[in-house]
Amino acid sequence: MKKLSEIITKLLSLKNKKINISSVKMDSRKIEKDDVFFALNNGKNYIEDVLKKGASLVICDDKKWEGHERVKVVEDTLMTMQEIAYEYRKELSVKVIGIVGSNGKTTTKDIVYSILSTKYKCIKTEGNYNNHIGVPYTLLQLKEDDDYAVVEMGMSNKGEIKVLCDIALPDYGIITNIGDSHLEFLLNRENVFIEKSEIKNYVDSKNLILFGDDFYLKNLEGIKVGFGENNNYIIKDYIETEKGIEFQIDNEKYYFGMNGKHNCINASIGVTIGKKLNLSINEINEGLKNCVVTPMRFQKIEKNGIKYINDSYNASPVSMKYSLETFNNVYKNISKIAVLADMGELGNDELKYHIDTIEYALSLDIEKIIILGKIMKEASNSIENKEKLIIAETKEEIKNIIRESFSDRIILLKGSNFNHLWEIME
């Protein structure tokens, strides 16, 4: 990482002109010899340990380390990391693909990365490192010979996508959809659209890929993919199987091993950018076949003899409906239970969204709906026919309910991350 070493030496005015950099880390537990360590947040408590492990440089804003030969004290560690990432990104010939949207960003990121990796040298955002810390950190993982960086960009408030784009300088943009996420701060979907579509100011419209059936995106200039006839790439012959989905674009057949119409859209976005970057049908299908999706996205798991669909990483009104619809369609004529928990950041209308979600779940062929959380419980008061509803107070109670009454059913777990619904499987 010669270029990164040169940038760090120059920006930080280091006396030692030959810093060996193996990689960049934020987690002190993962430090190896010649790593650069950014001591963010409580990372500064582990600087001594990091130095013992052989880090070539520690960057921190703790004055007590002033003067140490392998520690550079700066005014603000995060701002320094962002500046270094920005300068490093500018020096590289890598093409950055920025992915924004209310739902499906992480799965789309995994799909795009897997497809492009069949032909090109790529990196992607790991896990949910998609914010003002995660995006620069991702860029600092780049090697000088990488072709593409697939960068997920998340937000919860105004101006955050612009900050991330200013650092990453995307060459290609993807907007998955505009939903009801972050309404606590953004108030309505129009504001969500304004913030998410900020990426259009950084990429040429011929390099902007959109879900064209979305109400807010259909009139935005770019390459559109979707089921409607107005799209540049039209999804046809969409079929659900227990093993995944099949669909066609331009009379070419594609297969993806996850269920749901929403995952068909995510996969189709991957197909579209694959075609744009000159991959063959076989290469694209190979990427779809070998895609390793970040856990807790409609993940099929069997624990203690009970079959779960773990879709509990996060939730919004749109993703709740997608998940329930997919669960209902894939497991037709099979006894099934849905565990639904609170959704976060929905603003003043949060109760309405929770009522709508429960009502939609009750309209499906699902035997029982087990609900958890303060808002879900309040929303249940508005439901007239509660015959299919079970209101639980704790995850431990849900475990017992499943073990005693529903151990032979398929169980869907869906709710925002803070509910930790996956603990029900433990």
Q: Which pTM does this prediction carry? A: 0.87
CB 235 within 8 A of CB 227: yes
- Checking if the pLDDT of 180 tops 80, the result is no
The class of domain 299-425 in CATH terms is: alpha beta
Quick one: pLDDT at residue 378? 97
Delimit the CATH 3.40.1190.10 region(s) of the chain.
Answer: 92-289
Structure tokens at 157: 């408030």
C-alpha span between 40 and 8 (Å, rounded): 17
**Does residue 229 surpass a pLDDT of 90?**
yes
Which DSSP string corresponds to 39-61?
--GGGGGGHHHHHHTT-SEEEE-
CATH topology of domain 92-289: UDP-N-acetylmuramoyl-L-alanine:D-glutamate ligase (3.40.1190)
User: pLDDT at position 183, please?
Assistant: 64
Residue 390 has pLDDT above 80, yes or no: yes
Instruction: Give ranges for CATH 3.40.1390.10 in the chain.
Output: 2-81
User: Is residue 16 predicted with pLDDT exceeding 80?
Assistant: no
Q: Output the six-digit token pair for 281.
A: 């049908």
- Supply the pLDDT for residue 257: 93
Domain with CATH 3.90.190.20 in the chain: 299-425
Is 2-81 a domain of CATH 3.30.70.920?
no
Among 123, 206, 134, 128, CA closest to 167: 134
pLDDT, position 265: 96
